[in-house]
Amino acid sequence: MTINKDFFDPERSINYDLQTSGRSPEAWTDAARAAERFVPTHCSFCGVQCAMYLRVKDGQVIGVEPRNYPHSRGSLCPKGVVAYQQANHPDRLRYPMVRRNGTLVRASWDEALSFVVGRWQAIQAEHGKDAVAIYSGSSMTNEKCYLMGKFARVALGTRYIDYNGRLCMSSAAGAYEKAFGLDRAAIPMPDIPLADVILVVGSNVAECFPVAMQWIWRARDRGARIIVVDPRETPIARTADLWLPIRPGGDVALLNAILKILIDDGMVDEKYVRERTNGWDDVRAAAGQFSLEETERITGIPVHRILAAARLYGSARTSLIMHARGIEHSSHGVDNCLACINLALARGQVGKPGGGTMMLTGQGNGQGGREMGQKAAQLPGYRHIDDPDARRYIAGVWGIPEPELPGAGVSAPDMVRLMANGTIKSCLVMCSNLMVSLPDNAVVERALDNLDPLVVVDFFMSETAERADVVLPSAVWCEDEGTTTNLEGRVVRINQAAEPPGEARRDWEIACDLARRLGRGEFFTFQSAREIWDELRVATKGGIADYSGITYEKIDAQDGVFWPCASEDSEGTPRLFTERFAHADGRARMIPVTYRPPAETPGGDFPFYLTTGRVVYQYLSGNQTRRLAFLNSQAPDPWVEIHPTAAGRLGIPNEDVVRVRTPRGAMELRALVTPTIRPDTLFIPFHYGHRQAVNQLTNAAVDPMVRIPEFKCCAATIEKLGAPSAAASKGATENLTAANAPAIFPYQVAPPAARPVEERTAH
Ligand code: SF4
């Protein structure tokens, strides 16, 4: 079927289904419908940023309609369909609150902001500028992310700002920066069907990015093979040609072993490696760290499956590695991503349509949020804050002397440590829910309780806002305009459909008001998001992430613009690295990585691996989706997945309430006994708060380069309630491996017979 670009026409209110079913559109276009307005925008949730129309009537957002766009083609997943319900939700925060006698009570904006500014000025006078911090978010528009970076450095003069993207993508960002000199997916999603083989490493694509799956299915329809590396048999793994049920934390060992097979079998593109990369000799030497048998012991994947995967991947004319949090949430997350990149470079794939590597950015504006200057050591345009030229340029744009610009701060987890030890005395949390999203959250609780004041800006009462001294009500995404940058690097436009309810304000209005009260109003005179955008464009000009040539009008005209876009004449850059990489010499860096075990491995009283992840019906900390009735009805509580063999040994029936413990804490929840997980591994989704938060249990160990926490691997035990608590599951995983229990993994062990691969053309 050919999809008509204009299959939904908001002018005429004609629905595609009615057109094709032959019924009269007039029958459907009644007076009430005609009174509606249709606002083109994009989903508020994940990094795909699917396009949609919001239906607006009498100033209220009342529904959603499909909107065609090159990357989402009119599709929405269950979250996108109900995203609009946030706007009129009864739980919306409608007025500021200040804690008095232990209780949050209503206050005026003037009372709340005066209190905050008074405290900040007193704290900074006594303890210095850095005693106040900003913890920002990446689900906000580029304009707001940019403004928070400027607010921290110019209004507060603090070095301490970081954001929740640190917990999400920072290892992929660090690896791409090192290897390619630029942190962005190299190809747009419509290129995916050009791949002959897609190797998905650590991504539950179908649940986390449902609308992106259409491009993988298109590739498969054209003959592409799919290999999935995951400890769980996720939905995409169930239909893959080859599933590698990896033991959590074994990724570098596996990827290096695949590289060694490519080398031994003569599958390396020597010409490409020679002409376009540096560092191959060191990478080649590191690839032989383990024999295949040792790799099997580390990863739990039988040798024959490793061989099958390597030969399938290595023989493809065009191959794409897609990766996400499964390998990025690791104390060696950067190495994991570099190992993927080494494979793709060795095969000569990066810079080729449909080939290379593709990181799957999680948050709605996870890509743009990490380019706008709200990272600890970053200025707008992906400039480094310790680069003298960058400092001079940005100080000039902001109109301050360069020495006034603070230096680098520290990562989000390290800021929490500084809160816990009293170095940071107050923090403004913008659009983030630390109490659910950071590991080992008993420590987070103590850190937040140390702050005086903790100030939270949000539109729903989050687990973090519950602990705040001041809560400031903000707008949801459809109550403001601006831009986001999706996981492809495509900048899209968010349009305003309604006004914020009650006394709620847009985030940028709150920041500008605070700046004025801090005596820095002259630097924050913005009257609209568009004015912030215009300054942002200048600030990013000449940076790695150059947005200077992108206008709101160009975004509308082109269905999004890919950065870098350095002039208004440029259409942007959908495909990167076709001729050269972003390093000064134009060559990619191949960087050797060696296997290091996870920071905590099972043993003794904690015999299982515990890993965490998402489900399709919830988003991030769940503060939004747990309030949307349909979504929450499908996944109202967390559960722990356990393999039937392990459950049988422990006498745990399906749906029994169990206790899962790690060295940091324990939680009680229902067991889901399922063969879709490794027998030595437990899985708990992370979208829930309070005693249902799995981050009570996770390990706070971080990657040494980018400081991303190791959410995906720690040691755990599971026990029936009422069972003796000490080491109840000790021995439960003995002799349960992928290699010696083939009946537990009744899946493909070799690639299926060759199917013809169609000649592929770009979309
Ligand atoms: Fe929204 Fe992501 Fe679902 Fe698209 S795939 S509708 S962007 S949550």
CA of 51 to the centre of ligand 1 (A): 9
Digit-coded pLDDT (tens) for 264-293: 999 999 999 999 999 999 999 999 889 999
Residue with tokens 């989903």: 43
Q: Is 227 left (phi over 0), alpha (psi -120 to 50) or beta?
A: beta
- Of 433, 424, 371, the closest CA to residue 562 belongs to 371
205 Cβ contact partners less than 8 Å away, ≥ 6 residues apart: 212, 213, 216, 234, 236, 322, 324, 360
Closest residue by Cα to residue 389 from 381, 134, 182, 173:
381
**H or E element at residue 441:** helix 441-450
> Residue 292: how many CB atoms within 10 A of its CB?
17
What's CA 638's distance to the chain center, in Å? 20
In degrees rounded to 5, what are phi and psi of residue 40? Answer: -70, 130
Q: Mean per-residue pLDDT for 8-35?
A: 47
CB 73 within 8 A of CB 51: no
Taking residues 412-433, report their average pLDDT: 96
77 lines ligand 1 (CB under 6 A): yes
Beta strand extents in 245-344 (DSSP E only): 277-278, 319-323
Position 759 pLDDT exceeds 50: no
Sheet holding 60-66, edge to edge: 37-42, 51-57, 60-66
The torsion angle over the Cα atoms of residues 444, 702, 407 and 164, rounded to 10 degrees, is -60
Q: Please indicate whether residue 76, judged by its CB atom, sits closer than 6 Å to ligand 1.
A: yes
Q: Please name the residue that has the structure tokens 């999935």.
A: 228
Separation of alpha carbons 474 and 457, rounded Å: 6
Q: What's residue 630's pLDDT?
A: 94
Percent with pLDDT over 70 in the chain: 90
With 80 as the cut, is the pLDDT of residue 732 above it?
no
Residues 6+ apart with CB under 8 A from 534: none
Listed residue (379, 409, 377) closest to 396, CA to CA: 379
Place of tokens 């299982």: 608
The residue to which tokens 């999603």 are assigned: 189
Whether 725 shows a pLDDT value over 60: the answer reads: no
What are 503's two structure tokens?
Answer: 């006394």
Each residue's pLDDT tens digit, 147-189:
999 999 999 999 999 999 899 889 999 999 999 999 999 999 9
Which residues, 6+ apart, have CB-to-CB distance to 479 below 8 Å?
87, 496, 497, 498, 499, 500, 504, 506
Average pLDDT, integer, range 556-574: 97
Question: Closest ligand 1 atom to the C-alpha of 80?
Answer: 6
Place of tokens 């850095």: 130
pLDDT for position 135: 97
How far, in Å, is the centroid of ligand 1 from the Cα of 45? 6
**45-78: per-residue pLDDT in tens?**
999 999 999 999 999 999 999 999 999 999 999 9
Atom of ligand 1 nearest to the CA of 83: 1
Confidence of residue 440 (pLDDT cuts 50, 70, 90): confident
* Ligand 1 neighbour 209 (Cβ under 6 A): yes
Q: What is the mean pLDDT of residues 376-396?
A: 97
Going by pLDDT thresholds of 50, 70 and 90, the confidence category of residue 721 is confident
Ligand 1 geometric centre to CA of 83 (Å): 9
Is residue 212 pLDDT above 80, yes or no?
Answer: yes
Confidence tier at 754 by pLDDT (50, 70, 90): very low
Look at ligand 1, atom 3, and give the residue with the nearest C-alpha: 77
* Reported confidence tier of residue 244, pLDDT bands at 50, 70, 90: very high
- At residue 730, the pLDDT reads 65
Please tell me what DSSP assigns to residue 9. B
Best CA proximity match to 482, nearest among 248, 144, 225: 144
**Residue 590, ligand 1, Cβ within 6 A:** no
Query: Residue 312: what pLDDT?
Result: 97
Label the pairing between strands 454-458 and 277-278. Answer: unpaired
Pick from 41, 42, 48, 628 the residue to mutate for probing ligand 1's pocket: most ligand atoms within 8 Å of its CB.
48
Tell me, rounded to whole angstroms, the distance of Cα 316 from its chain centroid: 29
Residue 35 has a pLDDT of: 78
pLDDT band at 724 (very low <50, low <70, confident <90, very high): low
Cβ–ligand 1 contact at 49 (below 6 Å): yes
Each residue's pLDDT tens digit, 445-473? 999 999 999 999 999 999 999 999 999 99
Q: Which H or E run includes 40?
A: strand 37-42
Q: Which residues pair with 505 in a beta bridge?
A: 474
Is residue 276 a contact partner of residue 588, using CB atoms and an 8 Å limit?
Answer: yes
> Which pLDDT value is given to residue 12?
43
b (16+ CB within 10 A) / e for 720-747: beeeeeeebbeebbeebbbbeeeebbeb
The protein residue with its alpha carbon nearest to ligand 1, atom 6, reads 80
Integer Cα distance of 626 and 695 in angstroms: 17
Mean pLDDT of the chain: 91
Phi, psi at 8, each rounded to 5° = -120, 125
**Which pLDDT score, from 0 to 100, does residue 756 have?**
41
Spacing, Cα 79 to ligand 1 middle (Å)? 6
CA angle, residues 533, 166, 514, in degrees to nearest 5 = 45
Ligand 1 in reach of 43 Cβ (< 6 A): yes
Give the amino acid at 42: H
> What mean pLDDT is predicted for residues 106-134?
98
* Mean pLDDT confidence for 204-224: 96
Sign for the pseudo-dihedral over CA of 661, 667, 671, 672? negative
* 495 CA → ligand 1 middle, Å: 17
Residue nearest ligand 1's atom 4 by CA: 50
What is the pTM for the complete model shown? 0.92
Query: 232 near 240, Cβ under 8 Å?
Result: no
